[in-house]
Amino acid sequence: MSGFLFYHLQAKGFPHWGYDYWFKMDTQQVPDLFQEGAGYAWPGIPYGDPFEIYPGPNGPIDSIRWEVFAESLQDYQLLQTAGIPPDSPLLKDLKTYADFPKSEAWIDKTIAAIKKLSDRPVQFIANTGFRADHTGGNVKLRASGLDPSLQGSFFSNQFADAGQGATIMSHQNTQNHMDALKMPSAGVPSDTFLEDRRRKFHNDDSIEMFWEPNAVTDGDSIVHFRRADVIVTGDIFTTTQYPFIDIHNGGSVQGEIKALNDILNRTVYEHEEDGGTLVVPGHGYLSNEHEVLEYRDMVVIVRDRVRDMINKGATLEQVKAARLTADYDTRYGKSTGPWTTDMFVEAVYSGLKQPAAAASK
């Protein structure tokens, strides 16, 4: 909510009194902040209100509140990037937090209003990988690109499905994986590339897709909108978890590090590694060079720690027991779900132990 409201009111900032006020009220005593979140001043102070971050053994620990606030600032940046005026009718009714709509209907209305920025159909969809969380909307989104004027035209000589919907682009390996999984044909890419790069000029922008072999899988791509200075990374970079290195489908930690370096080679920061190129992660919040650099450094450090133990003869179980990711687990780690910390460590270990086999799968 804050991002929309700050943008509409053109606010320059706001004061927050308790970024790291960790004491019991009016004392110098620090309570257990993970059990007592109001400094023993409830109901006078709501739980969690005195601080945005928690003290940790290796430095500050983010709070959920801090992450949500960060996401609201990304909303501000997206509104700015999209060129929506602060006095737009989309935002005109927002004056206080009480005015902020909270219904799904308002969200649908917002999406419809953004679509009014252009009445042209969707023409191209770029798939950065084959996993369902990034391709599951292909069929519906492709259908929104129906353009009867192209059917039977010159473009039909290039693409058999010209005009029937938006053209889905990806690396050839992504199409191969989707065919093997028997995904709906209407959602499988029809425009693929084999070399390092696929490029287009569209909407007054130069758009390039770069293949990142053997990163998360063997078919990952990043998409660079050069004029807008935006890079879409797919699952190569996320802000929510360790990289999903799928060694059974060609992924490797070495390829992941190379891919992150390739992203950094294309970013430009505004000041001290902040601002500048916008980086859209596979999951998480809108980022820039600073977040990608931190993520790259984390992967390199974990890789080096695992490799050191391998060189000393450690088994996989010994590597897991050593908790080599402990200083990053509060930010990226998970003990349950489809991708856990142990799975990440095992993928790094297996890739370093048998690099040729991992990269060829």
- For residue 27, name the pLDDT band (cuts at 50, 70, 90): confident
CA distance 188 to 115: 24
- For residue 325, name the pLDDT band (cuts at 50, 70, 90): very high
Q: Which residue has the higher pLDDT, 247 or 158?
A: 247
What is the SS3 assignment for 154?
Answer: helix
The residues, any chain, with a CB within 8 Å of residue 9's CB and separated by 6 or more, are 86
Read off the tokens for 172.
């050839």
pLDDT at 72 over 70: yes
Mean pLDDT check: name the lowest of 116-125, 165-174, 346-355.
116-125
With beta carbons less than 8 A apart as the criterion, state whether 207 and 225 touch: yes
pLDDT at 271 over 70: yes
pLDDT at 188 over 60: yes
Specify the DSSP element, H or E, that contains 124: strand 124-126
What is the SS3 assignment for 207?
Answer: strand
Q: Which residue has the higher pLDDT, 13 or 130?
A: 130
CA distance 145 to 117: 16
The residues with which 171 forms a beta bridge, in sequence order, are 193
pLDDT (mean) for 199-203: 86
CA distance 70 to 290: 14
- For residue 168, name the pLDDT band (cuts at 50, 70, 90): very high
pTM: 0.69
Q: What is the pLDDT of residue 100?
A: 60
Q: What are the backbone angles phi and psi of residue 202, rounded to the nearest 5°?
A: -150, 140
Handedness of CA 69, 71, 75, 77 (dihedral sign): positive
Q: What are the backbone angles phi and psi of residue 171, rounded to the nearest 5°?
A: -70, 155
Q: What is the pLDDT of residue 108?
A: 60
- For residue 361, name the pLDDT band (cuts at 50, 70, 90): very low
Burial string for 113-147 (b: 16+ CB within 10 Å, else e) reads eeeeeeeeebeebbbbbbbeebbeebbebbeebeb
What is the SS3 assignment for 159?
Answer: coil
- The letter for the amino acid at 75 is D
pLDDT (mean) for 268-293: 89
pLDDT at 74 over 60: yes
With beta carbons less than 8 A apart as the criterion, state whether 31 and 42 touch: no
Helix axes 289-311, 341-353, angle to 10 degrees: 60
- For residue 37, name the pLDDT band (cuts at 50, 70, 90): low
